[in-house]
Chain A
Amino acid sequence: MTAGEVQHGEEDILARARMGDREAFGDLVGRYQDTVYTLALRLVGPDLAADVAQEALLRAWRALPRFRGEASFGTWLHRITVNTAWTLRKRARRHAVEPLETDVEDRGLLPERAGELAETRAGLRRALAALTPGQRAVVALRDVYGWSNAEPARGLGITEITAKVRLHRARLRLRTLLEGAR
């Protein structure tokens, strides 16, 4: 199946899910649950990630008739996940720094390169876990997921200046932590 056919297939599933077809939405959940869960894990840590992913997917289902297709479904779902993560994190009052991902796959790499990259990535994940939740969210959205400068601010309900300051501090801290670990 070509990428175009996959895309067309997803549009069809999406159209059916927007009309209230639960089975079609189940297909979408199957496709996106891992990326939603991974984003949640990066934003709030393992204790809350499954709750965030579940709530985000339920909110997406409720809101699907609003989805206009201006962004891709994945991007739309990511925005809902960020919003949900922030709401649940505030509700749970988990302001302490939490450990993040414990088991992340490095897929499709040569064994020797994979070992080196896995080590670098593990170091980065440990460093990310040491940031404050606010810094971690901004740096994850901007530098890991490639959101624009304005989008993390909108997604997290903070000003662009605050987002820029958090991003800058987060990058400095990451560098310090990574260089300290060597």
Chain B
Amino acid sequence: MRGLFCTLASRLPGEWPATAAAHRGNCLRCQAEAARDRTVRRGLAALADDVVPAPGGLEAAVLRGLGKQDAADPRRALVARIAARHAAAAGLAAATLVAVGAGLLRRHSRALG
């Protein structure tokens, strides 16, 4: 049972809930898991210092390609994608509501007639 709890706790994403945190305080297996996790994270954080030199012609290519500054939103593609996703979700929700409403109305009119 204890092993199962450890396995579940290690597979759950996000912050540990209070009960799991209390369990970890007393569980060597979970503490070892957390230590392994910290080692990986420390290693990853150290990669931030690694810098790969850009290809030789990059700066010149950028300067050649400079056009007019138009204050365009550099995130517009992302914003458009998120807006499209929200619109699709809203459309689906609206269609579901209409379908459910129509079904209820039909049932109600059948019951009356």
Contacts and interface: CB of A to CB of B under 8 A. Distances in A.
* A and B found bound together: yes
Interface of A: 20, 22, 25-26, 29-30, 33-38, 41, 50, 53-54, 56-66, 79-80, 83-84, 86-87, 101, 103-107, 117, 120-121, 124-125, 139-140, 143-146, 155, 157, 164-165, 167-169, 171-172, 174-175, 178-179
Contacts of A80: 74-75
Interface residues of B, number: 43
B112 interface: no
Contacts of A29: 58-59, 62-63
A164 B66 contact: no
B36 interface: yes
Contacts of B77: 83, 87
A54 B58 contact: yes
B13 A164 contact: yes
Contacts of B65: 54, 58
B27 to A, nearest CB: 18
B36 A175 contact: yes
B52 A103 contact: yes
13 contacts: A35-B51, A54-B61, A63-B71, A79-B74, A79-B75, A83-B77, A105-B50, A105-B51, A124-B43, A124-B44, A144-B45, A157-B78, A179-B36
A145 B66 CA distance: 28
